[in-house]
Amino acid sequence: MLLEDRVVVVSGVGPGLGRALAVRCAHAGADVVLAARTAARLDEVAEEVTDLGRRAVAVPTDITDDDSAARLVESTMDAFGRVDALVNNAFAIPPIADLLDVNLDKVRKGFETNVLAALRLTRLFTPGLEAAGGSVVMINSAVLRHSRRTFGAYKMAKSSLLALAQSLATELGPKGVRVNSVAPGYIWADTLKAYFGYLAKQRGVDPEQVYEETAATIDLRRLPEPEEIADAVVFLASALARAVTGQCLDVNGGEYHH
């Protein structure tokens, strides 16, 4: 019960990592505010949270819109009167193309969701987080650790998010608010499973072979699951990490060492 009776806001709630974040926070004793554009997804996850005996508030939110983001804060404070942790999980896939060719308008759009929206939510929630001595966790990516072709725009966005988190840690530290990041690598959830299925079909092999070949490049010889990423977030949001701020915790099974 690392987050017992605390209030955690999770953005970007969907069927994969967003759901796992909300459910694992509830397992740890937190009440959860769920934010995403798709109301149906929020309702499904809210039911899982309440089945665990915790309270859930679903708030359809466009985090790139000032008014919508402000309503998320108002809904949180109206429902619970406090906020202890903000998990910036919302993500939009940047264009996957070489930087010499990439569409700059699409790069800018990616920054809106992946970086500026995280700053917007953090600023709006800062008064509540300061009052509670709370924390912020940014969901980053192992793209920080490589420079493969076509991932340039993706790495630009996530590197900016890391810089944002570190700078906010310096600014908010004197207010008693911690800011950290979690950088997952592969996440064994529906999206990746579908992609591996596609690769397997292209090659005429079983999807398990694609999994095994990928896992062979990772120290633990397996791909992390959403709940394992979420547990790292629970740790950083909890009092166990009360002296940890400005840090990035890689959760990748040993794919990269940092």
Residue 154 tokens, joined: 């993706």
Query: Could you tell me which residues come within 8 angstroms of residue 236 by beta carbon, excluding any fewer than 6 positions away?
Result: 135, 137, 178, 180, 182, 244, 249
Catalytic residue, chosen from 154, 186, 211, 256, is 154
Q: How many whole angstroms separate alpha carbon 215 and alpha carbon 220?
A: 8
User: Residue 56's beta-bridge partner residues?
Assistant: 32
Q: How many whole angstroms separate alpha carbon 19 and alpha carbon 16?
A: 6
| DSSP secondary structure, 111-140, as one string | HIIIIIHHHHHHHHHHHHHHHHT-EEEEE-
Residue pointed to by tokens 């996440």: 187
User: Residue 139's beta-bridge partner residues?
Assistant: 182
Q: How many whole angstroms separate alpha carbon 125 and alpha carbon 82?
A: 10
154 is catalytic: yes
- Nearest in space to 114 (alpha carbons), one of 91, 93, 97, 94: 91
Q: Which residues are catalytic?
A: 154
